[in-house]
Amino acid sequence: MKQLDPGLTPAAIFPVGIAHYWMRNYEVALSQFQSTIQMQVAIPSPYFWMGATYLEKKEYQKAIDSFQKAVELTNRARQSHWPAWGSGMPDLQRQKKRKRSYWKF
């Protein structure tokens, strides 16, 4: 396993990968995305960009695998946060109705 600089964070490495993708330095971009994943596995963005990079390199199966992982992580995040988002919704709706009725002339 490659040793990473302890001062580097996914937030610092990931944008460098995107910049290399746009400069068509695909190998460097992949390296940056893989380093980001090594540090923080559960975020979908590096997998999406890896998929885009593999697509540009015409490595279609790797692109599909990366995109599928990005979708899986996105769906997992939505499911794990949905109860927290949904629990406050009824109260919010009631508050909006109260405010509307208050301001009616």
Residue 16 belongs to domain with CATH number: 1.25.40.10
> Would you say residue 101 has pLDDT above 70?
no
103 or 48: whose pLDDT is higher? 48
Look at residue 2 and tell me if it is in a domain: no
pLDDT tier, 69 (very low <50, low <70, confident <90, very high otherwise): very high
Q: Domain range holding 24?
A: 10-103
Q: What percent of the chain has pLDDT over 90?
A: 50
Q: Which positions ≥6 away from 48 have C-beta within 8 Å?
A: 66, 67, 70
> Would you say residue 63 has pLDDT above 70?
yes
| Residue 23 φ then ψ, to 5° | -85, 0
Look at residue 48 and tell me if it is in a domain: yes
Say what the pLDDT of residue 62 is.
Answer: 97
| Residue 58 φ then ψ, to 5° | 65, 30
Structure tokens at 68: 């599928």
* Residue-wise burial string across 66-76, b where 16 or more C-beta atoms lie within 10 A, e elsewhere: bbebbeebeee
Domain count, the chain: 1
3-state secondary structure of 94: helix
